[in-house]
Amino acid sequence: MNRYWTLARRPPPPWPDADTFALVEAPMPQPGPGQALTRTIYVSLDPYQWGYKRRGVEPEGAPCHARTVAQVVESNIDGLAPGDFVFCTNGWSEYGLMGEGVARPGYMVPRKLDPAQGRLSQAVGVLGMLGLTAYAGMILQGDPKAGETVVVSAASGGVGQIAGQLAKLKGARVVGIAGREEKCRFVTGTLGFDACVSHLSPTFAGDLAAACPAGVDVYFENVGGPVFEAVLPLFNPGSRMTICGLIAHYGDTAGDAGAAERAAAEARGATVTNLFVGDYVEGHHDAFLADMVPWVAEGKVKYLEDIREGLGAIPAAFAEMLKGGNFGKMLVRVSPDPTLQRSRPSGTSKR
């Protein structure tokens, strides 16, 4: 049998609660011609997934969407054998099918993974779509120049921590925005940002202005709401803003917060670009890996993961991530990772 989480309430509440998801047991999927059955190892939990659920993208009764790392159990695909590791989109499920004829919301073309390139978990993080998201938004869209000031919201999160380090590699002065002081210390002490301010501070707007005396040239937006409002007065003429996410608005029931922020930023003279990573997979993925793999291996880009254990942990970890309770990229390890040594690898936070 296969177990998976599905959305139990339609429409779901503004934010997930204990009754939002249901654990389902169903027969094990059987691979057909050109397909493979895979066992999920890591499930990536990301803010955009809540938008999928609230917009009704996922079919009723289907596993909740997520990008995953899995191991092949049975294969009818040439060049893919049992035991191989793959990036796929099994979702919040113990097992899933990949290959010909597999279609579900958010389905992405699977690819075989090389464990020599980095930890398997990094395939849904710094060496996966999150890394490409940061690369596309910061390097290709933001295009920071040496000496410019770059601000990154949710700076200790899965995308933010990478985006800020990429700006540092380009010679920019980088200011992060995070929550708890523990996160701010990590952003400056470990990731190497020049400054980090807490959005929990009662003097947040003033703190941010003091950290950006020359204004803001590039803003990597992950949050929106009051965080954006503090950045807005600091935009310089010719500045660039990438809208990667607006987590503060994912519980809204009406309106287009992104449009309002875009208009406000453009009124300040900023060029605003929405970021959809799917636009950059074809044509940029190979160049991204060619840069990022050695940067990670050489320690030029550091990356913290927040890994929880077991399929049952997914709903609570997801809700915690949406509220900013995670510290690093939020993942759930659904089954054992055969590539791990006895000691936990550096760069992970396990709770």
What are the counts of helices (DSSP H) followed by strands (DSSP E) for the chain? 9, 16
The pLDDT score that the predictor gives to residue 104 is 85
Sequential DSSP letters for 279-325: HHHHHHHHHHHHHHHHHHHTTSS---EEEEESGGGHHHHHHHHHTT-
Residue 229 in this model has a pLDDT that exceeds 90? yes
Q: Contact 66/94 with Cβ under 8 angstroms?
A: no
Least confident of 54-68, 110-124, 228-242, 247-261: 247-261
* pLDDT, tens digit (0-9, with 9 covering 90-100), for 303-325: 999 999 999 999 999 999 998 88
The Cα–Cα gap between 77 and 100 comes to: 9
C-beta atoms surrounding 108 within 10 Å: 14
Residue 256 in this model has a pLDDT that exceeds 60? yes
* pLDDT, tens digit (0-9, with 9 covering 90-100), for 132-149: 999 999 999 999 999 999
In the chain, what are the domain boundaries? 2-125+303-350, 130-274
The Cα–Cα gap between 4 and 61 comes to: 10
Tokens of 19: 């009754």
What average pLDDT does range 28-38 have in this prediction?
97
Residue 249 in this model has a pLDDT that exceeds 80? no
The pLDDT confidence band at residue 52, using thresholds 50, 70 and 90, is: confident
The Cα–Cα gap between 22 and 315 comes to: 9
The Cα–Cα gap between 37 and 171 comes to: 45
- 324 vs 79, higher pLDDT: 79
Please provide the distance, in angstroms rounded to a whole number, between the alpha carbons at the two ends of the chain.
Answer: 28
The Cα–Cα gap between 172 and 193 comes to: 10
The Cα–Cα gap between 197 and 155 comes to: 10
Look-up: residue for tokens 């710094």?
126
What average pLDDT does range 286-315 have in this prediction?
95
The pLDDT confidence band at residue 347, using thresholds 50, 70 and 90, is: low
Are 2-125+303-350 and 130-274 in the same CATH fold? no
Can you name the CATH fold of 130-274? Rossmann fold (3.40.50)
CATH number of 2-125+303-350: 3.90.180.10
Task: List for the chain the helix, strand, coil content (%; round to 5).
Answer: 30, 25, 45
Q: Is 273 exposed, middle or buried (0-12, 13-18, 19+ CB in 10 A)?
A: middle
The pLDDT score that the predictor gives to residue 306 is 95
The pLDDT score that the predictor gives to residue 51 is 86
Residue 254 in this model has a pLDDT that exceeds 60? no
Integer CA distances (angstroms), 120 to 165, 280, 326, in order: 21, 22, 20
